[in-house]
Amino acid sequence: MVIKIAPLAEKSNVSPNKKITLLTSLILPLLIVAGCWQLQRAAEKRDMEQHWQAQQQLPVVVLNGNNILQLPDYQQVMSNGYFSPIHQWYLDNRHRQGQYGFEILQEFILDDGAKLLVNRGWVAAGSGRQHLPKVVTPAGQQTIFGELMTLQPYALLENIPISNSWPQVILHPDLTRMRDQLDYPLPSRYVRLDGTSQGALITNWQLTALSSARHMGYAVQWFAMAIALVMWFLIANTALPGKLRAQLNNRNTRS
């Protein structure tokens, strides 16, 4: 018996699908750019995580008005002073474990007279913004522990207009407005309290909203979609499926 073997490839009459070609040419660069951007963000977050870990190994520094601008972010600090019983800002739209609430930013006066902002932590919201949860200010001399941070500017920030009523609800710290409210300078640094510090509320701080591992995961997803798009393009615009079927038939016939 003579077995005829199908040829591995025949001349392709497949014409390119213009719509798929156009779609691929538009979407593929976007997927690659998105994947590269996630890789860049992953590298930045990795540097941040390594910097944070390095700072955790350093001894605690006593914070004062002279060194507050010289110390790096995430430096562990301690300081003596007292909380202003009046100047409180409720940072709106802060969530913990799916529950809506506020972070409490409060003025702290150091023993040397320097003033700075302290993020005391999170509190659950009450029945609404018109009924803010009561946050008790620790009275008298306090010793606080935490991490020194830099206030990040928000170019498009539009908070509630300057007011003399306290406490105030804001979306993000706006240092310029805060200085205008207090009518004296504030440094662009603040202390994020440790959970064991006097005056701390619920802390459980996250270093970043997304870790370097999460960004790497997103990068893999973008590149996987790019590969899938290329495969779809090849299947739709080439004779590749026919060649694969021919090879499969050839192997089945030989067996």
| pLDDT (tens digit per residue) in 114-126 | 999 999 999 988 7
| pLDDT (tens digit per residue) in 134-160 | 888 988 999 999 999 888 876 555 555
The overall average pLDDT reported for the chain is 81
pLDDT band for position 72 (cuts 50, 70, 90): confident
Report pLDDT for 155: 57
Examine the pLDDT at 1 and tell me if it is beyond 50: no
Report pLDDT for 8: 43
90 and 132 Cβ atoms separated by less than 8 Å: yes
| pLDDT (tens digit per residue) in 177-203 | 888 788 788 888 999 999 888 888 888
Higher pLDDT pick, 150 / 127: 150
pLDDT band for position 2 (cuts 50, 70, 90): very low
148: left (phi over 0), alpha (psi -120 to 50) or beta: beta
| pLDDT (tens digit per residue) in 78-88 | 999 999 988 89
The stretch 28-42 carries a mean pLDDT of 92
Examine the pLDDT at 255 and tell me if it is beyond 80: no
| pTM, full prediction | 0.68
Highest mean pLDDT among 40-54, 118-132, 217-231: 217-231
Report pLDDT for 158: 52
